[in-house]
Chains A and B, each alone.
Chain A
Amino acid sequence: MTQTITIDPVTRLEGHGKITIQLDEQGEVADAHFHVTQVRGFEKFSEGRPFYEMPSLMARICGICPVSHLIASAKACEAIMSVRIPHTAAQLRRMLNLAQMIQSHALSFFYLSSADLLLGMESDPAARHIFGVVAAKPELGRAGIRLRRFGQHIIELLGKKRIHPGWVIPGGVTEPLEPAKRDEILAMIPQAYADIGLALGAYKQIAESFKAEIEVFANFPTNYLGLINEDESIEFTDGALRLIGPGGHVIEDGITANRFTEVIGEAVEPYSYTKFAYYKPLGYPNGSYRVGPLARLNIVSSMGTPLADVELAEFKQLALGPVQSSFHYHHARLIDILYGIEKIEQILTDPLILDKHVRAIAGVNRLEGAGQAEAPRGTLHHHYKVDENGLITWANLVIATGQNNKAMNLGVLQASKHYIKDGKFTEGILNRVEAVVRTFDPCLSCSTHALGQMPLVLTLVNSAGEQIDQLIR
């Protein structure tokens, strides 16, 4: 008899999703899917709005990474305005984006995943959360909370609010940086270095004990996409996209925002509201690729900052060519954080950062524009069309989670096949299947409201739709 195992909702993710695992007559895994079950409609209801309203409107998509949406959206608007923003404004935005990357990565690593990593995949689910981590490893738990606060506090200082800050507008930012705020951020940096050092050390110690998970957590060759500078160093805010193949060779370089739709398509699968992005010349699903921390480290040859470069060199030792297991997203995330702290320090020590000229002003000079940036979880692309008065007639957003969608689905299948034998499963196995998705840190509804203790019901259903077994936690 065939069976379907449903994990609904998947816990410790941003947003609502569910996993279904289909078993064949012998109780072996036949197929598995990760479903995103919400539809939001931002692209539709932004139609008719003035384009310069888009950054603040689009930022409402997500409470975790509003800044990435702000920046990608503002850049799309600047393409419509045909302006190049002042250097200081570009640097201030870069800092804001890095601050957000740091806080979001801290959230993913410490709040959502560290319980699996530090307490164990099989540990008591009742204590498998950030509070459990703080109780078991107080120093590490505090470091994680401090790192998130570091990022959030910078966002608040610059944008006046931690969640959904304003400040970033088409043409630049609304006001220059005050010296007192610069000094306040610089004063927080030594502690941030200490915290990320502690986290990297702890991670490397425990990673040894997860060899089995590393083998089956979406561990397969794929393409990788991410922003990169001309000198092949990592980039989060400007630069152009590079796509590499499973062997590490460059498939295409210099994909600017206005060329994105030329090379990237979006496929639709009936089981998910999230689309599946792919590289058009290779078709779907062969052209599927991964984005985010792992992809970024796989495509770059340097970080461009001294401490992160040392860590990158060590990371690259994990594999010949691209590092393929999604378990290593966790490691890559911590290196991203270290880079972010270093880069923020560099940006703030540039005397031009206090320059008062931070905004370019223009009207509608083109009827179409696209912008891209690296969100913490991967490449984010905004594309708008406007009428001659600047009212939006069409909008399309390609988010990181859509670009990782195929790999997440295959990863869930890979782990399910490995762990579920003869139709039997335990809570720990179930948690491992969820943990595969967590490595990608997907942002499903792009909303922060569904964290922590959510009820989870796993149901075994036979081919006639009758319930055979149920596990509730």
Chain B
Amino acid sequence: MSPTVDVKTLTIDDQEVSARAGQTILEVAREHNIDIPTLCHLDGLSDVGACRLCLVEIKGSNKLLPACVATVEEGMEVSTATERLQKHRKTILELLFAERNHICSVCVANGHCELQSLGQSQGLTHIRLEYRNPELHVDASHERFTLDHNRCILCTRCVRVCAEIEGAHIWDVMGRGIDSLVITDLNQPWGESGCTRCGKCVQVCPTGALFDKSKVGSDHPKYPDFLPYLNLMREAQ
């Protein structure tokens, strides 16, 4: 006997859609080709709702919900691109750009960067905030890879892919709030950590914060698409 499928019906941007209970708004939206911008979310990893770019409006509630973790409910009326949301998304991006030192022109990820692409797609032309210009270091102790904190947006994709997919949990976050840093082991140089050198963290990093030393110039496309496939094959075993 097959279990009963619990179906929810709702509207996203006035489009009537149906979904399975427990699905996130983001999943359902993407199934119906409705684009919601994301940054910390990556197919194949758990969601943490950290970047807040996927915030959506639900009719009847003044609270904005992150679509990557909010699950669908019967009769929901979701809006993904209201003026209010667009304003918030732009502000979030401005905060990210102002927080650390993002210099696209000399970045190895220039042209392949999710933060840069989002800035372009969301129509970001100026940063109204003062740049913080923090003094951050570069960890080039690893034989193959480099970590540049200047370009890190603290999405924690590296932390999640290392713990959930590679099973090594070398990456973690230390510090609080705006002063947080991603670290390897207990804040040891990456090259001296227990890193397995698989390179998954580099492939999932949305910016040039983690990069391959052999890729120089603006020559560093990343290929995070392997994750869902890897998960699928593991489940099949």
Contacts and interface: CB of A to CB of B under 8 A. Distances in A.
Given A53-B216, A169-B217, A174-B219, A164 B105 contact: yes
Contacts of B105: 56, 60, 164
Contact of B217 (A60, A174, A391): A174
A53 B140 contact: no
B218 A389 contact: no
Nearest to A159: B217
Contacts of B138: 48-50, 391
Given A166-B218, A167-B217, A174-B217, A390 B140 contact: yes
Contact of B108 (A53, A60, A164): A53
Nearest to B144: A363
A390 B141 CA distance: 9
A214 interface: no
Contacts of A322: none
B108 to A, nearest CB: 7
Contacts of B108: 53
B146 A50 contact: yes
Interface residues of B, number: 18
A363 B216 CA distance: 12
B137 interface: yes
B214 interface: yes
Nearest to B211: A50
A119 interface: no
A389 B141 contact: yes
Interface in B105-137: 105-106, 108, 137
Contacts of A170: 216
Interface string B204-219: 0000000001101111
A168 B191 CA distance: 28
B213 A363 contact: yes
Contacts of A361: 214
A169 B138 CA distance: 20
Nearest to B108: A53
Interface string B179-220: 000000000000100000000000000000000011011110
Interface of B: 105-106, 108, 137-141, 143, 146, 148, 191, 213-214, 216-219
9 contacts: A53-B106, A55-B217, A56-B106, A56-B217, A164-B105, A169-B216, A169-B219, A170-B216, A174-B217
Given A55-B217, A56-B105, A389-B139, 11 more contacts: A48-B138, A56-B106, A60-B106, A169-B216, A169-B217, A169-B219, A170-B216, A174-B219, A390-B140, A391-B138, A391-B140
